Amino acid sequence: MSLKRIGLGESTFDVDVEGPADGPAVLLLHGFPHSRLSWADVAPILHQAGLRTIAPDQRGYSDDARPARVSDYALPHLAADALGILDALEVESAHVVGHDWGAAVAWYLGARHAGRVRSVVALAIPHLDAYQHAYRVDDEQQHSSQYVEFLMSEDAAAQFLADDSAQLWAWFAQAGEGVLTPEQVRRYVTKHSEPGVLDAALNWYRANNLLGEPFGFGPVPVPATFVWSVTDTAVSKLAVTKTAEYVTGPYRLVTLEKTSHWQPQQAPETVAAEIVNLVRLEEVENR
């Protein structure tokens, strides 16, 4: 793995860049509470297919890109980081893949910066306009979103990290049961137990209130695929089906029956196949 240190203003990001240098660029954006290592099983499959992958530790996760203010974690800043990383690597446009909060950034980029985005593959999280609509009108989504208020609270990190990160260990063990290996659990807990990491990661929730005023991303005009797991309790069926209304380019919904929220770890072959399929589709349509 080729780790690059990419400086953007006062921040420096840790970015894994690998695969054929002349291959189509795929920007891999991790979610919460993960890191760029979320893509460890997906990226090699993409490389075999001739794709170049760019996987950063995003704002708050890179040790030298961790601003203190909550407002610094608003989606426009997160999107600017992604575009800045592409600029630094001289990548004019990329296929953007995101999981969890990374999916939110991917949808934002597809809607607001379509000229830089060749396609979007969103894992687990629907278009946030669809999510917020569902939250306003749907009992299922309101129930599914209850955890968000806790994660937005000022003392969430302290509770997770008390008693040698006991609650964090328990959370990962429960959320990743049957999905994550003990080594993966240890890796994520260790990362988020480092000073400042978990609080910065939670700033993504605090700065971007999923339960508040509508974001108003608008439609995504580029080809998009949304990969949803039936067993993922964070998202309602209404939010899933509503997403199609916010994509004006070619759109595909992929429904996984037995895969949990941890799609890159649990179903890397399926995730990689959907990415490759969309890359090939975009290439054919633009010949």
For 247-266, write each residue's pLDDT tens digit: 999 999 999 998 888 899 99
Q: Are 223 and 285 in contact (CB under 8 A)?
A: yes
Q: What is the CA radius of gyration of the chain?
A: 18
- Is pLDDT at 273 greater than 70 in this prediction? yes
d(CA 239, CA 84) in angstroms, rounded, equals 30
Q: Are 71 and 207 in contact (CB under 8 A)?
A: yes
Structure-token pair, residue 58? 């995003």
pLDDT in tens, 81-137: 999 999 999 999 999 999 999 999 999 999 999 999 999 999 999 999 999 999 999
Domain ranges of the chain: 2-285
pLDDT in tens, 166-204: 998 988 877 767 777 888 888 889 989 999 999 999 999
SS3 for 97?
A: strand
| Centroid of chain to Cα 53 | 15
Q: Which residue type does 212 have?
A: G
Q: What is the largest CA-CA distance in the chain?
A: 58
Q: How far is CA 137 from CA 92, 152, 243, in A?
A: 39, 22, 15
pLDDT in tens, 134-173: 999 999 999 999 999 999 999 999 999 999 999 989 888 7
For the chain, the average pLDDT equals: 94
- What is the reported pLDDT for 287? 66
Q: How many CB atoms lie within 10 A of CB 11?
A: 17
Query: How buried is 113 (Cβ within 10 angstroms: 0-12 exposed, 13-18 middle, 19+ buried)?
Result: middle
Q: How far is CA 236 from CA 67, 116, 229, 285, in A?
A: 33, 30, 11, 32
Return the higher-pLDDT residue of 33 and 244.
244
pLDDT in tens, 232-247: 989 999 999 999 999 9
What's the average model confidence in pLDDT over 24-28?
A: 98
CATH class in words for 2-285: alpha beta
Structure-token pair, residue 16? 């894994």
Global confidence as pTM = 0.96
